[in-house]
Structure 1
Amino acid sequence: MKPLFSRRVLWALLILIALVGVSACQRQPQPEWRLTDVSGHLPDLDFRLTDDNGKAVTGADFKGKVTLMYFGYTHCPDVCPLTLTQLHVVLDRLGPPADKVRILFVSVDPKRDTPEIMHAYVNAFDKRAVGLVGSDADVEALAKRYRSAFTREPDRGNGAYDVSHSSAIYFFDAEGKARLLATPSASQDDMVHDLHLLTSLGAQP
């Protein structure tokens, strides 16, 4: 009986080792993000707006692409052009994987930003940028969804006014899951690093 018992113990140990090995193989290492990880803290990419070609689009239309969403407006005197310039440089540095990335520039100034104006504006910075416009209610709802905010300042005359707005850049993976948050002051190195990781993840289950 003793040899039989020993064989059973040996088989049990071998099966346990095999199961532990399979479990270890199935566990995926967590990416070492440099930007702020917001996975599970912000909702998936979801909206119904009009793009800079005048076409109705939703968040689902960008499935399969890593998307960088930013709220701004074409009359912005400083932070918007600086941010779009920064993102253009980051995508150029990213190289071929940049083909899997889209910049979504959401206007917080629906009164002045038409699709035509947005098209000329975003294309002046990067061909992978998409301008998005919508009604006041649609844009306000989208900003609220991602805990962003904007306020129209008093008119200075002749329709001249500024719009104060949050400056966060939202990173979504190819499945539209919110993954990262950055500010325009985030280093190019950190954004390039994390975009390399995001574009290599592929579609998430």
Structure 2
Amino acid sequence: MRPLWFLGAALLAAAIAPAAAHESTLKIEGPADAYVYELAPPGSYDLPRIGKAADAELLDEANRPVDLAALFKGRLTILAFMYLRCGDVCPIALTRMADLQMLAADDSRLAKRLQLISLSFDPAYDTPARMAEHGRALRLPGAGAPDWLFLTSQSEAAIAPVLKAYHQPVSRKADPDDPSGPLAHLLRVFLVDGEGYVRNIYSADFLDPRLLMNDLKTLQMEGS
């Protein structure tokens, strides 16, 4: 089975090449194409605080400890739980985040505040070195794009309370050689404001880069 970093690089090969193109020339597809309603424009709706985003002691791509709560301060964050061996929903989420990365790069003010965080819940395989390789394949080259961090943890014991705090279910499949990956999980992606509050939670049906952009711009307009 090809790991997610390989799948991600293949999925994004075509997307990264025209990364400097303007948003108007960027073809974005996602769940919103099937919605029976149009997306509400930024600032026309509220995003109430759902709750405080939990802190965590994690590892960055250079194997250095990082504090998740400190990363949230003053930033708008899209936090996605994932694992590199996933052959199911993670590659789809990866593509959506890559599209969001390109959309945000066309808005310099937003791009400076925005950060994408891909956080692994499979630390035994997803070492900092593997996460770094993944990040190099997916981040847009050059300046102007939002930061995209690829984080992992010391162990399953270390990530377990983080998964519990974010209500992120993960379980091992009976067949470790399942072609879609050894772990079963639901997709949960979090929008966190600059004060560390969760403002939206996206499932696979709502993880559309255009919807995320509208939510991010709504928070930016309210000064969060």
Report the equivalent of 1:131. Answer: 150
- Does 2:182 correspond to 1:162? yes
Report the equivalent of 2:220. Answer: 199
Report the equivalent of 2:37. Answer: none
Report the equivalent of 1:53. Answer: 62
- Map residues 167-186 of structure 1 onto 2, 5 A cutoff: 167-186=187-206
RMSD of aligned Cα (Å): 2.2
Report the equivalent of 1:13. Answer: none
The two structures have a TM-score, normalised by structure 1, of 0.73
Bigger mean CA offset, 139-148 vs 117-126: 117-126
SS of alignment partner, residue 131 of structure 2: helix
Question: What is the number of residues matched between the two proteins?
Answer: 168
* Structure ID, larger Rg: 1
Q: CA deviation at 1:38?
A: 6.0
- Map residues 1-205 of structure 1 onto 2, 5 A cutoff: 32-33=45-46, 37=47, 39=49, 41-62=50-71, 63-94=73-104, 95-96=107-108, 97-126=110-139, 128-134=147-153, 135-156=155-176, 162-186=182-206, 187-203=208-224
Residues 163-186 of structure 1: per-residue CA shift (max 9 Å, x gap): 111201101001111111112332
2-side partners of 1:156 and 1:181: how far apart? 29
Q: Where do 5+ consecutive residues of structure 1 fail to align?
A: 1-29
Q: CA deviation at 1:149?
A: 0.9
1-side partners of 2:213 and 2:53: how far apart? 22
Do the aligned partners of 1:123 and 1:129 also contact (CA within 8 Å) in 2? Answer: no
SS of alignment partner, residue 205 of structure 2: coil
The 1:116–1:194 alpha-carbon spacing in structure 2 relative to 1, beyond 3 Å, is: same
Report the equivalent of 2:18. Answer: none
Paired amino acid for 1:126: R
Runs of 4+ in 1 over 6 A off after TM superposition: none
SS of alignment partner, residue 185 of structure 1: helix
The two structures have a TM-score, normalised by structure 2, of 0.67
Do the aligned partners of 1:108 and 1:163 also contact (CA within 8 Å) in 2? Answer: no
